[in-house]
Copies of this chain bind each other. A is one copy, B any other.
Amino acid sequence: MSVNSSGGSVLDVENVRSRVSESVISFVDDRSQLLNDVDPHLDDLHVALLDFLNEGKRLRPAFCWWGWRAAGGADEDGVIQAAASLELLQACALIHDDVMDGSDTRRNAPSIHRRMATEHANAGWRGDSDNFGVAAAILLGDICLSWTDEMYSTADLSIDILQRGRPYLDVMRTEVMAGQYLDVVAQARAEADSDLALRVATFKSAKYTIERPLQLGAAMFGGDDKLLAGLSNYGLPLGEAFQLRDDLLGVYGDPEVTGKPAGDDLREGKRTYLVTKALQLATLADAATLDTLLGDPELDTNGINQARELIADTGAGADVERLIAERTEQALESLDTVDIDPQARRVLSDLAVAATVRAG
């Protein structure tokens, strides 16, 4: 299954990715019968979800899997299913996030609420198509969240393994929702509070994307407190670096690669670390101009370019790049000090680079 050479970890990562994809698609397909028993109309939601799930980096399942392997766990399909359940949690988070942000695009396709609004309009149904789209997206997200738990619980693993992981699954679900709320509050308070921006990054990204999935996998195998703490020392700084990269991509990213419209974070007025740093470093006049541009739903290409230049002029972007490099380095150093399976160490080291040096 794995190749013991420096090129091996790419194959390992790809292998896990494709097994995770297969697992989540097959779980959702199995559930189509239950939806169809309610009514054939449910097929629209089912197909929308399958299309949505066909894309995705499978990052959280990957960290969960390599947490299990790091602790010494063998290759087991049941673990793939338990790890893949995190894709359904992520689907809920993204589908609901797009509703909250009013985002039209996700993964290079219309967001779920836009897609369902179009289906409503095409069917010539009564009422407001946008409202219908939002209702459908809220419910589909709820279904994904319920299925997260169902997919995890029905994995072919001993009940002891599942019970050991459950507290980590529980805490990560609460943390991601709470982190999302804090993000919305930060946006509404609209202050140049970079501590708050980093706290949002910690909860909605660092813990949710990396630390908790790793710990979930390791705890399932029965990893001890020392291992879990070691994985946390790797996961938290890496997760922060991951989110900081996301912040840069949200402002400067290529829509073709990110799958989101250009400057989306600017239009939404997200108070990321990058943005709060720029507001702090800018001249008073520039900060005032930037503050006006942020969160303007009508922001056009000119406005986006203006905001990009204002941010770049402050040097905040370079600051963020430095921080990403620092945090990634810190993660890799921590990884060296943890006592884990050598194959897992190699993959986790490669994943650290993949998560922080990327274009989308």
Contacts and interface: CB of A to CB of B under 8 A. Distances in A.
A135 to B, nearest CB: 4
B269 A127 contact: yes
B141 A142 contact: yes
For chain A, which range describes its interface: under 10, 10 to 19, 20 to 34, or 35 or more residues? 35 or more
Interface of A: 31, 34-35, 38-39, 41-42, 45, 92, 96, 99-100, 102, 120, 123, 125-127, 131-132, 134-136, 138-143, 145-147, 149-150, 153, 159, 163, 166, 170-171, 173-175, 177-182, 184-185, 187-190, 196, 199, 203, 269, 295
A113 to B, nearest CB: 11
B139 A39 contact: no
B182 A127 contact: no
7 contacts: A34-B175, A38-B178, A99-B138, A126-B187, A132-B188, A142-B142, A142-B145
Nearest to A120: B188
Q: How many protomers of this protein does the assembly include?
A: 2
Contacts of A120: 188
Contacts of A92: 142
Given A150-B170, A159-B163, A189-B125, A177 B142 contact: yes
Contact of A177 (B99, B146, B163, B199): B146
A219 to B, nearest CB: 15
Contact of A126 (B38, B163, B180, B188): B188
Contacts of A147: 174
Contacts of A102: 131
